[in-house]
A = this chain, B = another copy of it.
């Protein structure tokens, strides 16, 4: 079968090539991919940055966002059938550690991620742990279903602040997950959504198209403009989806006293915070967010997809056949893209 394989320890270094078919173990299902999509994590591997050099053992099939069809079911699995349309939670949880026992499978103490620690889904078929598969509703387009992993990140982040209907929120970062947070917040009835991007006009344009009530960028007086959006009160919730330390500093100024700053971005270095003025005196709640709740977040994500109010057509900016996945990586690398999806 065909697979996109990281074959060389260098930027790019990926080839679409023939590899052996995977075999499903007794607790697995074998899946034929229908749509896969490219995540920021995949770009780390493609770009071969420091993180990827530490984590990835080549040759390696990467990718973890997909919508596929079950073609074989392991002998211990009685809750999936051939023909089921599925997507997958990339964080493979042990099911028995303290965190799993408490319903926090997304922070399992023995976590393994397919597409990072084990082979991923940039290929025609893959065998994955059946427990990590989510049965899809075929009424929803397959390319949307392939996005449930990053959509889940955004859903997890946005609703970490509770119900946001009627609340003023800000999204820091206009990459794919930031854009998803914008459309989710609009669909969930936010009083207003302020988006803060960097300098990429393409992505700022997508934020506007998604209905962000105000789009700010580097060079704007972000804190002052934000106050104006909220009658000087500050945002009920600010979502940090950049990994830029300045976004944390800004975010703490933008959020109202008693509000929530949710952190999904990954920071290369420690961040210095004025805890006294910006957290303690303001009673701010800073929430670290990782992955998605299994399966709580998936269900909310599905409900939003079922409602049909997320504008994913604006976010999916590029579509290629799987054989052209290298073009997809290039589109992502250019910065002038939302999500890139690949069909078989």
Chain A residues near B (Cβ < 8 Å): 76, 79, 94-96, 98-99, 101-104, 106-107, 109, 155, 159, 162-168, 184, 187-192, 231, 233, 248, 256-258, 263-268, 270-276, 279-290, 295-296, 299-304, 306-307, 309
Flag if B285 contacts A189 (CB, 8 Å).
no
A151 to chain B: closest CB distance in Å? 11
Check A258/B99 contact, CB under 8 A, given A76-B76, A304-B191.
Answer: yes
Flag if A189 contacts B189 (CB, 8 Å).
yes
Flag if A274 contacts B270 (CB, 8 Å).
yes
Identical chains bound together, number: 4
Check A300/B167 contact, CB under 8 A, given A162-B162, A275-B270, A285-B285.
Answer: yes
Q: Chain B residues near A155: list those with CB within 8 A.
A: 166
Q: What CA separation (Å) do A329 and B310 show in the bound complex?
A: 41
A307 to chain B: closest CB distance in Å? 5
Q: What CA separation (Å) do A188 and B189 show in the bound complex?
A: 4
Q: Chain B residues near A101: list those with CB within 8 A.
A: 295, 299
Flag if A275 contacts B267 (CB, 8 Å).
yes
Check A273/B276 contact, CB under 8 A, given A159-B163, A289-B283, A306-B192.
Answer: no
A230 to chain B: closest CB distance in Å? 9
Q: What CA separation (Å) do A173 and B192 show in the bound complex?
A: 30
Q: What CA separation (Å) do A306 and B275 show in the bound complex?
A: 32
Q: What CA separation (Å) do A340 and B19 show in the bound complex?
A: 64
A186 to chain B: closest CB distance in Å? 8
Flag if A191 contacts B303 (CB, 8 Å).
yes
A190 to chain B: closest CB distance in Å? 7
Q: What CA separation (Å) do A263 and B265 show in the bound complex?
A: 22
23 A-B pairs in the complex with CB atoms less than 8 angstroms apart: A98-B256, A102-B299, A106-B283, A107-B283, A165-B300, A165-B303, A166-B299, A166-B301, A190-B307, A191-B302, A263-B279, A267-B276, A270-B272, A270-B275, A271-B272, A272-B272, A275-B288, A280-B288, A281-B290, A282-B288, A283-B287, A283-B289, A284-B288
